[in-house]
Chain A
Amino acid sequence: MSDTITNRFADGDAPSEDPVDDARPAPGDEKMWTARLRGAGVRALPPSKLLPDRQPSYVASWVYIFGILSFASFIVILLSGVVLIVRGPSWWHESQVGLFFNSIHLWSVELFFFFMVLHLWGKFFMAAWRGKRALTWMTGAVTFAISIGAAFTGYLSQQNFDSQWISTQAKDGLNSVGIGALFNVLNFGQMLLWHVLLLPVFVGALIGIHLLLVRRRGVVRPLPVRTGRHARTARARTPAAPPSSEGVDR
């Protein structure tokens, strides 16, 4: 190691207790990629924004729990899926315990779609894409679409009558648009690998980005209740709100 390591604490300064402050690079290090990435990350999502312990007072409806219920379902899907992976794809046909874990996996998928669709309905009727939250909506919608793909490959991986029928039918749709040439639903090995690795990774990554975006922007405000001409008069009379701060919601 070099003898000339820059010691930021050379003057006896202790590391700052404020995590945002602590993330600042030492003088001269600002151009480092690491410092820049860290700075951008911390500016976008300081700890108190990443895991806030407060929410705006309008976050007070049972509709707000559907997102977390979907995510919780996803976790149960993963956990039950891992058990099925550990024992291999034929286990659930040969063992009652295996069948039980397959059942947990199936029902957690039903719950996942159940709550995800309710979450979609709720967010739609709240117009939750307002205020620069379009990307949050979009990542959610894409997650929905890819989840359908993940479930589809799951059905194909069952190695029973269901997967025989689904694969021989679905092949026509996919072949008709050329996708079937590369994505062969009759190929169990390929479908199983997509199902246990590629698609869960895509879904998980998208959910992660979606959650970070929700935290970054915060929960969208209620739609304004239009009160006709009073609304316009009130807007004209009242001083504008201060510009949005990049900082933490306190």
Chain B
Amino acid sequence: MSEAPPQSPRTRTLAEASLGSDDSAWDGPKIRYDLVKEFVVALVVIALASVALAAIFSSPDDHPVTIRQWSQGNPGDFLATSVTELDGSSPTATYGPPYNSWTSGEGQKIGPVGLQRWAGVHIPVNSQNDFVLAPLHLAAASDPSLRAALAQYSTASADQQKQWTTAYIKGVGHVKFHDTAVVLPRGRYGPVAPMLSGLLNMARTGSLDADLLASPQFYGTDYTKPLLFIADGSFLAAEASAQHLQGDQWGMMNETGNYPGQAWLWLYTMWYQVSPFSTSWSANADALVWALMMLLTLALILVPFIPGLRSIPRLVPIYRLIWRDHYRRLAADAGSSSAPPGSG
């Protein structure tokens, strides 16, 4: 594949050719090098390695969490999350752009720059309506008591609604379940209690999964609503914690089970583990880490132009090992002629 071929008369000696500038064409000794063969060999090697690794280790495929599983696995958490969607205090309801406008807060900023706010609301999500009221109205078509509760809720004043939901938030912390019945401590929950019990029933049958998925035109591939709803609860997060996938567990790098993950994301996730991103800057951590990583990526791209950084190869002389044969031949070549050893 690579032998010393006959050199053309225009080939200079190694020593002479080595004096050329970095951008000049190499006119020194050459070796035969079969690029196409090298590529074919590489392709076969990688194909075999991929097939072997696939056969030995397969790939992970943990089942997705459904709202139904969530409502059955942790109904208390489901109810606690649902009431915050109703009263507009859930993470999704208070997220701001791109899902909704803020009632308070400014979103994440990089110094004075608020890109989150600037981008605007492009993926409108009304958690109160989308996650609670609209699905309940569908179920209410065949449930008169639910219909009555919804009517009572919608005709009440905002203050009254807030009183009911606030009471429910307090009470749901001590909820008990007798079979499928929701048992709350005594409190003034108004229609909110039957409404959310109705929502829990829908969730348990799987119809809430379907309702949140269904798009206006029958076909849909956008899972924004069910995912935001599930992520507002702690059921998904509990599974993630168990798999070491949380942000403060270097989760970005990890994969479920014992599979290798994304080792190349080590630097991105590292910042979340250290101060001040994990402490005083944590409110803007996402934006700040993103900005920092964009800067570092730019630095990687522009290495050739960054003094200091571009000098590291000379200072950490791995190159002497890589090209040791070349330097040895150069020294031998120069030693057998009058010129001193190679210099560029």
Residues of A within 8 A of B (CB): 51-61, 63, 65, 68-69, 71-73, 75-76, 80, 92-93, 99-108, 110-111, 113, 117, 122, 124-127, 129-134, 137-138, 141-142, 144-145, 148, 151, 155, 158-165, 167-169, 172-182, 184, 186-190, 192, 217-218, 220-227, 230-235, 237-238, 240-245, 247, 249-250
Contact = CB atoms under 8 A, between A and B. Distances in A.
B340 A177 contact: no
Contacts of B326: 57-58, 60, 222
Interface in B30-67: 30-36, 38-39, 42-43, 45-47, 49-51, 53-55, 57-65
Contacts of B38: 65, 68
B289 A173 contact: yes
Interface in B197-243: 220-224, 227-228, 230-231, 236, 239-240
Contacts of B264: 113, 117, 148
A7 B319 CA distance: 55
B122 A103 contact: no
Top 9 nearest A-B pairs (CB, nearest first) are A189-B221, A224-B344, A131-B22, A178-B119, A103-B54, A231-B343, A129-B304, A244-B24, A241-B20
Interface-centre pick from B228, B236, B329, B342 (highest chain A CB count, 10 A): B342
B122 A182 contact: yes
B236 A164 contact: yes
A103 B53 contact: yes
B61 A160 contact: yes
B120 interface: yes
The prevalent SS among residues of A at the interface is helix
A122 B239 CA distance: 40
Contacts of B32: 53-54
Given A127-B319, A148-B265, A164-B227, A100 B54 contact: yes
B73 interface: no
A235 to B, nearest CB: 6
Given A53-B33, A221-B22, A226 B221 contact: no
A63 B322 contact: yes
Given A61-B322, A72-B45, A148-B265, A223 B300 contact: no
Contact of A142 (B36, B301, B327): B301
B26 A249 contact: yes
Contacts of A217: 23
Contacts of B25: 218, 244-245, 247, 249
A161 B240 CA distance: 9
Interface stretch (B171-179, B185-193, B309-317): B309-317
A250 B63 contact: no
A230 B53 CA distance: 53
Contacts of A59: 31, 33
A124 B236 contact: no
Contacts of B5: 54
A182 B2 CA distance: 51
Given A125-B316, A221-B20, A160 B64 contact: yes
B281 interface: no
Contacts of B30: 54-57, 249
Interface stretch (B81-89, B107-115, B127-135, B145-153): B107-115
Nearest to B227: A186
B213 to A, nearest CB: 11
A158 B303 CA distance: 35
Nearest to B301: A141
Contacts of B305: 134
A104 B50 contact: yes
Nearest to B245: A165
A162 B60 contact: yes
Contacts of B297: 141, 145
B21 interface: yes
Contact of A176 (B17, B23, B286, B325): B286
B319 A125 contact: yes
Nearest to A235: B343
Contact of A173 (B20, B290, B341): B290
Nearest to B323: A222
Contacts of B116: 175-178
B167 to A, nearest CB: 30
B18 interface: yes
